[in-house]
Structure 1
Amino acid sequence: MTHDAALSYAHPPALSQADEEALTDLYIRGTPANTLRAYERDLIYVTAWKRAVYDQDLTWPESDVVALRFVLDHARDLGDANQQDPARAAAEGLIRQGLRKTLACPAPATLDRRIASWRAFHRMRNLDSPFDAPILRQARAKARRAAARAPAPKSEHPITREVLNAMLATCGYSLRDLRDSALLMLGWASGGRRRSEITGLRREDVSLKDFESEGLVWITILETKTTAKGKTPRLVLKGRAARSLVHWINMAEIIDGPLFRPISKSDNPLDRALSPDAVYQIVKRRLQLAGYDEGFASPHGLRSGFLTQAALDGAPLQAAMRLSLHRSMAQAQKYYDDVDVADNPATDLLG
């Protein structure tokens, strides 16, 4: 390899403005919507952090010094820092902007995600990322180990069948009630769907061809967090979950477009799709109406509750995973382990 070729290999050629825009557009079209939202939130945070620390906008590529400072500032508890500490002052500014909750050391997963987003924006521009430098890799590894903690559950409690039934009992006969009932049952009974998967469903993704004869409703999800676009297997609803969904479709007269929609004050469905945050609000409201604290569970409780109930009912793990679409058996097994350990006879040895 010639010297010039070696330099070219070490430093990717700069893209033209047109190529940069085309590459960015390709990333946007080829990246799941929820990932794009995470990218956007992280870019806002990183931009605000650099302005607070350096009073400068982001540069592309970013310098190793700035990247290292970002890791170091997010690898310690700033509540213990001196009031004049620049990192603490920056963090307090981010708290005032609503971009950070506390001065506590962020979870390693949060730091990793923000760095991953920052790196992704470098890739979009065909630029080397400063986080690939050996000193940054080592600093990240040390930060991850120093801040290691038990992962917090995404939902405080699983929404098991008992909890779900209590939530469904709060649903009456208005269109809003019918929608909430169908949404909760689909989200739970189809394997514990994520919010973005629920709100991304369209009427065209629901097949009723076997409903009259067999009571089955087939659902096609374009993509999930663990499956590629167009590679997600069809899911099935049966029993009251299938009947609830069909009733919602018929009563709301949904012929095409978004499956789950906002309801107007006059109890009419709107044309647009529900947002993922609306699913959070529905779960929160139904829990409160059922007598639970609003923080009892989050929408992820539909997912954890499905797997927990499958374990309680003795359903094989592989059967539950065919609906939940977990890619990792070890991850899905955790829900079964939490149930099995309570029935382990060794826990009764003391009497």
Structure 2
Amino acid sequence: MDVAGPVNRPHRDTDPSVIVADDSLTATEARYVTAARAANTMRGYRSDWAEFTTWCTTTNTASLPAEAAAITGYLTTLAERGAKVGTMSRRLSAIKFAHTVHDLPDPTTNARVLAVWEGIRRTHTTPPEQATPLMPPLLFDVLDACPVTRTWTAPGRPAEPDLAGLRDRALLLVGFVTALRRSELAALDVAHLSDHPNGLVLSIARSKTNQTGEHAELVVAPHGTHPARSPVAALQAWMAAADITDGPVFRPVSKGNRPLPRRLHPESINTLVQNAIARAGIDPRPYSAHSLRAGFVTHAHLRGASDRAIAHQTRHRSLATIGTYVRIHQAWDDNAATQLGL
């Protein structure tokens, strides 16, 4: 394997997961190699690696193998351009991964890289941006704004239940009550749903914290006390109207008000949540699909749930992480500033 000088082979520059000796892999081995990393992780690696190799091309610098000076120069450029520390950390991970799968030494552990990186972190680290929680009563306004009926200008076609509106109501309520990540909502299949006297039990085969699927993670969706706000009722209404009996639960809806057989992309879920918020006359920019998960944590805390009970549903491994969602509301708890009588 040639490791000297700049490497500009297109397949390496566009995909860090390609193994040099991949021609020797059997079809089964190649399939397992593809499955070695989550799809979202690989998409991130490809995007970040492409950014690095583009910078290397413009500076006439080798990307694979990369010298320590190239990496520190790249990091410095990013920092001067105002890139976030989290973004730069992801780029380093992609560089490390590309070298690992090509059996090359990891250049990110070089003393020069470590020193520059530590300085950047100390200089540029800022508190992470948190998604604005979407929770009652605002959540109820967003639900009420979901369209119910689809009417047509073509003569002879009667009004129909608006499938996109039914899907969005189910997506919002299930996403809020189960605190699922958008990737988990997108991956949800009918086979993952189990009936229970209290509602539904959802089996999450893989997640951010359980990527190998060694054990299924369980979350619950209670019936709820208000039928119009029941995640179970909303999900059943959507699946019945769309005639979904197997396969993906959440799907795109065509312009002709017909469900499509494929699952929603995680980024599409983000867009759907923002569109639903905009329909309620609310600025959607502070919100994302993660606002449902953040809304669950914050609302449950305000309702008196313990951090341990919240983590039981969100599947957070660290209870300290729960506090990052509710710290703004906790700042008012038992605070003498509220007792000054001013």
Q: Same fold (TM over 0.5)?
A: yes
How far residue 236 of structure 1 moved from its aligned partner, in angstroms, is: 1.3
How does the TM-score come out when normalised to structure 1? 0.80
1:140-191 CA-partner distances (Å, limit 9, x unpaired)? 11111111222222x2x2101212111111122411111111111111101x
The whole-number CA distance in structure 1 between the counterparts of 2:108 and 2:167 is 46
1:76-99 CA-partner distances (Å, limit 9, x unpaired)? 2xxxxxxxxxxxxxxxxxxxxxxx
Q: Which runs of 5+ in 1 are unaligned?
A: 1-13, 77-102
How far residue 204 of structure 1 moved from its aligned partner, in angstroms, is: 1.3
CA-based RMSD: 2.1
Paired residue secondary structure (2:210) = coil
Paired residue secondary structure (1:270) = coil
How far residue 17 of structure 1 moved from its aligned partner, in angstroms, is: 4.2
1:206 aligned to 2:193?
yes
The answer on whether the counterparts of 1:311 and 1:339 sit within 8 Å (CA) in structure 2 is no
Partner of 1:231: 215
The answer on whether the counterparts of 1:20 and 1:124 sit within 8 Å (CA) in structure 2 is no
Amino acid at match of 1:226: T
How far residue 20 of structure 1 moved from its aligned partner, in angstroms, is: 7.7
Paired residue secondary structure (2:204) = coil
1:318-337 equivalences under 5 Å are 318-337=308-327
The whole-number CA distance in structure 1 between the counterparts of 2:174 and 2:299 is 15
From 44, 50, 54, the equivalent of 1:44 is: 50
1:284-315 CA-partner distances (Å, limit 9, x unpaired)? 11111112112131111111110000111001
From 294, 299, 310, the equivalent of 2:284 is: 294
Amino acid at match of 1:260: F
The answer on whether the counterparts of 1:224 and 1:232 sit within 8 Å (CA) in structure 2 is no
Amino acid at match of 2:51: Y
**Percent identity among equivalent residues?**
28
From 159, 163, 169, the equivalent of 2:138 is: 163
The whole-number CA distance in structure 2 between the counterparts of 1:115 and 1:255 is 43
The answer on whether the counterparts of 1:206 and 1:220 sit within 8 Å (CA) in structure 2 is yes
Partner of 1:113: 90
The whole-number CA distance in structure 2 between the counterparts of 1:24 and 1:162 is 50
How far residue 65 of structure 1 moved from its aligned partner, in angstroms, is: 2.4
The whole-number CA distance in structure 1 between the counterparts of 2:25 and 2:72 is 26
C-alpha distance 17-269 of structure 1, shift in aligned 2 (>3 A):
closer
The whole-number CA distance in structure 2 between the counterparts of 1:163 and 1:126 is 52
1:71 aligned to 2:75?
yes
Q: How many residue pairs end up in the alignment? A: 302
Q: Which runs of 5+ in 2 are unaligned?
A: 1-18, 149-160, 224-229
The whole-number CA distance in structure 2 between the counterparts of 1:254 and 1:108 is 43
Amino acid at match of 2:175: G
Partner of 2:10: none
Amino acid at match of 1:289: R
Amino acid at match of 1:201: L
